[in-house]
Amino acid sequence: MFAHINTKIRMYYFSSISRGINVFLIFLTLLTSCNKSSVTISELKEQSGDSLDCAIQFIFKELPNRKTSVSTELTDYYKYVDSLYKNENDYPITKRSISGYLKNHKPKRKYINDIEHISSNQIINNILLAYKYRNKSWNNHLSDDQFNEYVIPYKIGDEYVEDWRTYFINKYGHIVDSLSQVSDSISAELLCFELIKVLKQMHRVNIHSTNYFTNTLKPSTLDIMTCGTCKDYCDLVTLIFRSFGIPVATDGLLGWHTWNALICKDKTIDFYIEATPKDNHLKEWLDVVGWHNLPKIYRETFSENPQSLALNHGSEAVPNFFLNPYIIDVTEEYYKGYNITITPTNDISSKNFAYLKVWNNKFIYVDWARRDNDDRFCFNNISDSVLYFPSLFVNEIKNTPLSYPFVISQNTEHYFKPNHEKKEQMVLWRKFFIRRDHNKYLKAMVGGKFMGANKPDFSDEEIIFEIKEMPEMRWNEALIENKNRYRYVRYCSPDWSYGNVGELEFYSDSCDSPLTGTIIGSQTSKDENTTIENVFDGDVLTYFDSEFPHNSWFGLDLGEAYTINKIRYISRNDDNFIQPGQEYELFYADLNGWQSMGKKIATADSLIYDSVPSEAIYILKNRTKGHEERPFSYENGQQIWW
């Protein structure tokens, strides 16, 4: 039966374009052909008019372009995650289980056209359920085009199509109904705020960014998931909100981080399932990642963007990101952008398009421009205080710099051109900036005390050393003047610090190596991976994380009394500081890409490079381990992170 119906969908779609047939009449015909329809012709007539006709045409126009991802392996994956979410409540176990499954069972992707398998009944019911909430106080500011784009769509991406509107209306409708009974004039912002409060209580949000979590989930799966990517949670919120006619979209630097956007009358409000519109999610997130602004912000759309590079690049190879026609640039809704025209420094004879990239442990393409008649490239509406690398695209691995890296500050462009006439010595302490969270761990150690005693209950304890200033994000060393001897030594952490320490070492003048003994401590950890044993395991990345915020202590029973002459300690950290014995390599950027200043094995907690071209952009790589790297400039003897 469905095949018969879909044949009619195709037939009427093309006849409506070629003959100008009223699309509303098409749906009446399809409706009468579908004996399982949950709506009647009279209901459809009641909803008819220019607005509904516009919505039907919108769906019909996009229907031939939409696809669904299917395969036997993908079906098995959906069954697996559904069962896991229903039966496993422990987030770390769930995450490890899904990651392990996808390592061993990578679902193959096949695509079928929606027009081949979506029934007319599904399409009709989706539109009618959407129109049930048309012209409400929270969406009456929308034009027909906006309502069609941000409420009407029957799906988001390539996921399985389900009757998610009915599902979410039945599950969350009482929230909207209760608010409607209080007031008949509810703003989109207020409704968003109230829904998010409930969703935060109903959904335990665990965010991860594991590369294996890249499969589009079904709506019914999204509603029961116990861990997901930011995109998964954006999809969940989008479907729930659109079920009630609330206009939302997914914005972000797509493929990296996304959030929800509420389309209000005169502004766009960013929010997230963990953060209400009042929490300023984007600013908070930028603080965490250490950026002033995002370089570009794109929005996912249901309709094709006719101005997209995907539909205009001809035969020229372009980055994968821009092969997506379902994105639009909405940076101007968030920032005052700037326009910049770049005159190429390298040969562009074979290229019609150029790009801006940014670095986030790898290059990410964020913008494109077409070559003008003067062989220049004008990039519009880009953010300030961001380091850009103008480039020509060859393939996803290879590219050619278009000019030197630059930033825009106070509407002025500054290019980082290496000065080979003015070379300098550089002293480097890190390869990556210190995140806000790790700064928090440093501050939390202030007030911490190292104690010594000879009774196991520490009733005779003495203070050996107290941390009075914020330590560095590397090994810190305290020389001890107290010459008393102690069998028991410990660290007592300040309140609200959860005992977060990465490593701790006690030294005696009778031994060059750290003292060893039986590990002792006061509290249990939050989980099996953050016990007090981590503080003495020699791995700076492991740490203790107490179950309780106060009264944490841990130390050693040395077996006999020693004079402590030195203590070395490091907070919970990111392992991005310079460590003796590890190999590093410094690069600077020029018109031929990254140029190496050579490899060095660190002998101290800093690296010294001589005769480095000044005024450039640099990056330091750890060749021994680790993957986090951040570009920096070098000014007045300091690394300035970009």
pLDDT tens, position by position, 5-56 = 455 455 545 444 444 445 544 554 444 444 444 444 455 555 556 778 888 8
Range with the poorest average pLDDT among 84-98, 250-264, 430-444, 611-625: 84-98
Range with the poorest average pLDDT among 220-234, 486-500, 551-565, 595-609: 220-234
Mean pLDDT along residues 65-87: 89
Mean pLDDT along residues 73-100: 86
Instruction: Print the SS3 string covering 144-190.
Output: HHHHHHHCCCCCCCCCCCCCHHHHHHHHHHHHHHHHHHHCCCCCHHH
Using a pLDDT cut of 90, give the percent of the chain over it: 58
pLDDT in tens, 220-257: 999 888 888 888 899 999 999 999 999 999 999 877 88
Among 87, 111, 109, 84, CA closest to 98: 84
φ, ψ at 100 (rounded to 5°): -65, -40
Mean pLDDT along residues 463-473: 95
Which pLDDT score is estimated for 70? 86
Higher-pLDDT residue of 121, 448: 448
Asked if residue 247 lies in contact with residue 147, where contact means CB atoms within 8 angstroms, the answer is yes
Mean pLDDT along residues 183-191: 84
pLDDT at 211 over 90: no
pLDDT in tens, 213-223: 456 788 999 98
Which pLDDT score is estimated for 43? 55
pLDDT in tens, 278-332: 777 788 888 878 888 899 999 999 999 999 999 999 999 999 999 999 999 999 9
- Structure tokens given for 295: 């370089």
Calculate the dihedral angle through the C-alpha atoms of 249, 254, 259, 264, rounding to the nearest 10 degrees.
-30
pLDDT in tens, 586-596: 999 999 999 99
Query: What distance in Å separates the CA atoms of residue 312 and residue 310, rounded to the nearest whole number?
Result: 6
Which pLDDT score is estimated for 290? 82
**Average model confidence (pLDDT) for the chain?**
87
Higher-pLDDT residue of 519, 53: 519
Asked if residue 215 lies in contact with residue 107, where contact means CB atoms within 8 angstroms, the answer is yes
pLDDT at 348 over 50: yes
pLDDT at 127 over 50: yes
Residue 209: band (very low, low, confident or very high) from pLDDT cuts 50, 70, 90: low
pLDDT in tens, 266-285: 889 998 887 766 777 788 88
- What does DSSP assign to residue 515? P
Determine the residue type at 288. Answer: V
Which pLDDT score is estimated for 6? 56
Which pLDDT score is estimated for 107? 72
Mean pLDDT along residues 589-613: 95
Which pLDDT score is estimated for 110? 85
Query: What distance in Å separates the CA atoms of residue 214 and residue 437, rounded to the nearest whole number?
Result: 26
How big is the CA angle at 58 (ends 53 and 62), to the nearest 5 degrees? 150
